[in-house]
Structure 1
């Protein structure tokens, strides 16, 4: 048992005891909204929408949502953020030193999200709140004197002609680590700055024996690939042969469950899996207590939230927001109801639709899980398949057939001859897959679990087709699409055109 680990753990426990975050959630959120409006009232956006006048209201939350429209990225960028690339005080005081190039799964890769100094601090504050929760997990002291491996996108940022630096949010965060982080952060800034994913991975694999890793953070698909590369290169049985103190894996970016069995296969002892909700637009939630992957919402860290019901009160049949959707505050939400998340942040995002769908799994404490993306809602012929429902079906079928499936893609397609609709699935597995058997089991499971899908299969959705591919084929596809490594996520629900491109590349 290390003395340093004991000291660090005790210090965190004392910090936890003296932390006071007991204010009612709605009160915390009203305080956040008031602080955001006060800070931005003299910006162009604040003057245009009369923030100074809004701040005089006794019913600030309702006046705010009745005054400011909801923006998606393109509206926010075209009307405001495009000017913020050149000028100061547009949606937030000053001019951002960084813009995040979104690594998300929808839209074009050239999305630029402003990253302000206040925003960078908010991410550190949420991280500090997660650290305060660690004593509840009763981790061994050795964890607190080991190192953390963060598998980020490249920290080698590019300089824009307007003077700011650009990169994915994880790379921006790493580039802003203080020098003293190097004592426990791996792979270190030098390796993290390698732009080419394959070269960066090779360097990590080679240097792995020199590190004492106790925790890993990153997107499951790429972390799993990295760990398998290390095991193969150093001829190990499990990753614990080289990192015996590895205890924690902080997942994020995509749902973890389809990867769980593969992680279990390469570890000697179970990892504690924490989930994180860290996007280009903010660090919104994190797992804060043991024996769950549900995430505690960050309520007092520079974010104000609204929740649009993911039903006919808020969205149309394709998952798009209505012109005037119902929008709820934190004190109006209900358990197990899906909501489109709307955020206002200290990066100058105002009533901004991220594109994520969440639901509350607990109201005390306030905990959420991400159930999917608004664009991952497959409902072309009324099937109403959310990402969460598809994930559950995929896990169930894979377990029944005794194989593992980490990634999958699906699209609603129309047969060019018959004009009838079908679902085209592509699944990724290292196991041998009987495509016909998997297709039959998947169809049966979705019918049993989802009445809307069953109705659609009896009417407009005439068939489903399924093709299994190897992981090497999948990675080849990602490389050809320039979607390889670090923080890249691929869409689970594709348009017909993108699916046809995928099938052509596979063939």
Structure 2
């Protein structure tokens, strides 16, 4: 672990050199693939030549190649044999994405990220007793591909868990046969039954689903809080959604000043970031030696057909960028759909600011997920409320009516005064987003938000109805259409 911290310090100090060397390694390894031959990959290819030759790709652009690999062809996008695919759960759309997972991406990206997470944590907390117990991880499931029974597809968490080395499997819980169950509600019950018998010292997973499990454990055991079940619990490693709105929820169920929280940025496409400082919320070190070469699209150019991308040495603090990656699994100049904002350039640290398709801009207000989560957090703090989930969508203008935003919020603990909650939510959005504030001036374009406090289980019912209960599936926070919001209300008879 100490040796790895030294390596991390090296890419903190020499970020551009590390990325340049990694770029040339990717090109050299892929030059004999069908993709590499098509776009003229040769040793010594410069980044500028790469950007001129290779178009920015969406999933739809790459899918013809991915489909062929799933059917059994090899050496198309990447030279190594690929027989695992991560089923993307970045959205709750009906159409899934299947992201290739090469042996290199599994070992040098996903597993390396997991080991680095432990190394960084131990470096931050040398007094840790983490390894005296087991780590509880909540994953999804996998199954053979419909295109080829020799190929397996599933949540990236399931792909990782299935391929863990023996030593790693020995220090985690629950056992594989439970961790990879596909029926979520049955899995929860089995997880409770097994894990309450263990000495669990750490948790990892999506906050939403982790909380569902912890709450069920308290119901079954009759305990008041999780520390009465696992007194040595000290760490929750979380990702996929911003933790700010959930912090109070976890504080109430794990009431300890010694409980630590570590943010990671682990997606189906790769492992990108790890929180490397104490006390920094949602701010992560960009990991530069995981077989991922980074480019960034300024968001004011995102809608251009082939926007100009920036390399790491060209980014600026505080601006939102769409993330573009080239990886050791054969994703080339691939837009993964996330937006990030740099909080530090020495070293490079980022915050996830949202999704390129998850925003509200029906009236020029340009509200992004980061804005919404920050405002929700402030409203909860001001009214002593605790939420479990939320989504928001526009209310379009009619002949005599102004437009606005409509929110569905599921509270674990309702605010003492819902109107005060709405006021703080609105004021916070106005404070952090000048475009929203301008549209709210004198209710000129936007009226005050409409907030519905929906019954507990509302969002779970919607996910169940879509067959997306559990795993890494999550609720779309914002949408520029009313599709999600109206579906959720219809399923629950609201």
Secondary structure of the equivalent of 2:100? strand
- In structure 2, the residue matched to 1:289 is 277
Shift in Å at residue 419 of structure 1?
Answer: 7.3
Give the 3 Å change call, closer, same or farther, for CA 503–437 of structure 1 in structure 2. farther
Instruction: Out of 409-418 and 144-153, give the one that drifted further.
Output: 409-418
Shift in Å at residue 133 of structure 1?
Answer: 1.9
- In structure 1, the residue matched to 2:262 is 274
Is the CA contact 1:102–1:109 (under 8 Å) kept in the aligned structure 2? no
Matches within 5 A, 1:195-210: 195-210=182-197
How many residue pairs end up in the alignment?
Answer: 483
Aligned-residue Cα RMSD (Å) equals: 2.1
Shift in Å at residue 403 of structure 1?
Answer: 1.0
Is the CA contact 1:426–1:466 (under 8 Å) kept in the aligned structure 2? yes
Matches within 5 A, 1:47-446: 47-52=37-42, 55-57=43-45, 60-78=46-64, 80-86=65-71, 87-105=73-91, 107-122=93-108, 123-154=110-141, 156-162=142-148, 163-270=150-257, 271-293=259-281, 294-310=283-299, 312=300, 314-315=301-302, 321-414=303-396, 418=400, 420-433=402-415, 435-446=418-429
Taking the aligned partners of 2:422 and 2:336, their CA distance within structure 1 comes to: 33
Shift in Å at residue 184 of structure 1?
Answer: 0.7
- Unaligned 5+ residue runs, structure 1? 1-11, 316-320
- In structure 1, the residue matched to 2:446 is 461
Taking the aligned partners of 1:94 and 1:13, their CA distance within structure 2 comes to: 31
Shift in Å at residue 435 of structure 1?
Answer: 4.6
Q: TM-score, normalised by structure 2?
A: 0.92
- In structure 1, the residue matched to 2:34 is 44
Taking the aligned partners of 2:137 and 2:489, their CA distance within structure 1 comes to: 33
Shift in Å at residue 309 of structure 1?
Answer: 1.4
Is the CA contact 2:70–2:83 (under 8 Å) kept in the aligned structure 1? no
Give the 3 Å change call, closer, same or farther, for CA 209–359 of structure 1 in structure 2. same
Runs of 4+ with deviation above 6 angstroms: none
Q: Deviations over 1:397-450 (max 9, x none)?
A: 122222112321111132566575332111110233555443343223323332
Is the CA contact 1:157–1:172 (under 8 Å) kept in the aligned structure 2? no
Shift in Å at residue 274 of structure 1?
Answer: 0.6
Q: Deviations over 1:301-346 (max 9, x none)?
A: 1000001112x2x22xxxxx31232311111112222111100001
Shift in Å at residue 169 of structure 1?
Answer: 0.7
Taking the aligned partners of 1:129 and 1:37, their CA distance within structure 2 comes to: 25
Taking the aligned partners of 1:432 and 1:130, their CA distance within structure 2 comes to: 35
Taking the aligned partners of 1:180 and 1:444, their CA distance within structure 2 comes to: 51
Instruction: Out of 462-471 and 417-426, give the one that drifted further.
Output: 417-426
Secondary structure of the equivalent of 1:157? strand
Secondary structure of the equivalent of 1:174? helix
Give the 3 Å change call, closer, same or farther, for CA 14–381 of structure 1 in structure 2. closer
Is the CA contact 2:34–2:77 (under 8 Å) kept in the aligned structure 1? yes
Shift in Å at residue 460 of structure 1?
Answer: 3.3
Shift in Å at residue 281 of structure 1?
Answer: 0.3
Q: Deviations over 1:22-71 (max 9, x none)?
A: 5611111111111111111111110110002xx334xx111111211111
Instruction: Out of 380-389 and 80-89, give the one that drifted further.
Output: 80-89
Taking the aligned partners of 1:15 and 1:442, their CA distance within structure 2 comes to: 43
Is the CA contact 2:92–2:473 (under 8 Å) kept in the aligned structure 1? no
- In structure 2, the residue matched to 1:7 is none
- Unaligned 5+ residue runs, structure 2? none
- In structure 2, the residue matched to 1:449 is 432
- In structure 2, the residue matched to 1:489 is 474
Q: TM-score, normalised by structure 1?
A: 0.90
Taking the aligned partners of 1:120 and 1:338, their CA distance within structure 2 comes to: 29
Secondary structure of the equivalent of 1:354? strand
Is the CA contact 2:89–2:155 (under 8 Å) kept in the aligned structure 1? yes
Secondary structure of the equivalent of 1:430? strand
Taking the aligned partners of 1:432 and 1:446, their CA distance within structure 2 comes to: 20
Taking the aligned partners of 1:447 and 1:461, their CA distance within structure 2 comes to: 11
Is the CA contact 1:148–1:185 (under 8 Å) kept in the aligned structure 2? yes
Is the CA contact 2:391–2:408 (under 8 Å) kept in the aligned structure 1? yes
